[in-house]
Amino acid sequence: MEFDAVKEYFAHLQNRIVEALQMADGQNFMHDSWQRPEGGGGVSCVIEEGNVLERGGVNFSHVSGDRLPPSASAGRPELAGRGFEAAGLSLVLHPRNPYAPTVHMNVRCFMAKKEGEAPVWWFGGGMDLTPYYGFADDAVHFHRTCQLALAPFGETLYAEFKRWCDEYFYLKHRKEPRGIGGVFFDDYSGPGFERSGQHREIFRAVCYLRIFQAASGHRHQAHDRQPARDRRGAARL
C-alpha cells in the first residue's frame, strides 16, 4: 500500500461523510480548499446553524516537507532532519437536539523519509461519543460496532484501544470522562504498513448517523440544551 492510497482514502471518506450529513441535515456544508506554501494542502468542510446540526466540521489535510519541524521529532530524535508526509481526516459534530450526542473522530498517517533508508511511519486516530442524555441502546450499539470493525485485526485490539481512549479523554480537572468513550490509538505500526493501514476501515463503520437521526427526533425544550452547553464548555478547558 502506497502513501498516496492512504491520502486518497481519507479524501474519499471525507466526501462520503459530508454527503451523508448533508442529506440528513438538508443544508450544504461550506467547502474551503487551502494550500500550504511548504507543501500540501487540504479541504475544510464546515456547517453552521444547520437544520439539525448546530455546527460541525469535517476536515482533510495532506502536508509534506523537506525537514521535520523540531516539535515533530522531539519524541523521536532519530528522525530529526528527515523529510515527511502526513495525511489525516478529522471531524467534530454538534447537533441542535441535545438528545443527540456530540461526536469526535480523527484518523491520520505519518511518514518520515530519508534517501537510502526505509521510511518510518505510523497510524493514529480514534472516535468517541459525548451524550448529554444517556441512551443505553445507543452506547451498546456504538461500542459493539467499534468492536466488530476491529475484530478482523485481532481479538484484543478493541479492548486495548477502548482502554486507551478512556485514559486519553479523561477530564482530570472534572474527574470524569469526556463521554462514553470509544477507541483511540497512536504510533501504531506493529503489523506492517498495509495491515496497519487496514485499521482505517473502522472509520467506515462509523454508526453515528443512525444514532444521530434517531435522537434528533426527540422533542426538546430550550432548557434541555443547557447540559450540552455545559459539557461542551468543560471539554474545551
Domains within the chain, CATH numbers bracketed: 3-236 (3.40.1500.10)
**What does the mean pLDDT of the chain come to?**
84
From 2-11, 144-153, 219-228, the region with the lowest mean pLDDT: 219-228
**Per-residue pLDDT at 193:** 53
pLDDT band at 237 (very low <50, low <70, confident <90, very high): very low
**Per-residue pLDDT at 216:** 67
From 13-17, 42-46, 229-233, the region with the lowest mean pLDDT: 229-233
Residue 75 has pLDDT above 70, yes or no: yes
Q: Span 127-139, mean pLDDT?
A: 88
From 105-114, 134-143, 154-163, 189-198, the region with the lowest mean pLDDT: 189-198
**Which residues are part of the catalytic machinery?**
104
Q: What is the pLDDT of residues 30-49, one digit of tens each?
A: 999 999 998 899 999 999 99
- Give DSSP secondary structure letters for the chain: --HHHHHHHHHHHHHHHHHHHHHHHSSPPEEEEEE-TTSEEEEEEEEES-SSEEEEEEEEEEEEESS--HHHHTT-GGGTT-EEEEEEEEEEEEESSTTSPEEEEEEEEEEEE-TTS--EEEEEEEEEEE-SS--HHHHHHHHHHHHHHHGGG-TTHHHHHHHHHHHHTEETTTTEESSSEEEEEEEE-TT-HHHHHGGGGGGGG--HHHHHHHHTTS---GGGGHHHHHHHHHHH-
**Per-residue pLDDT at 231:** 62
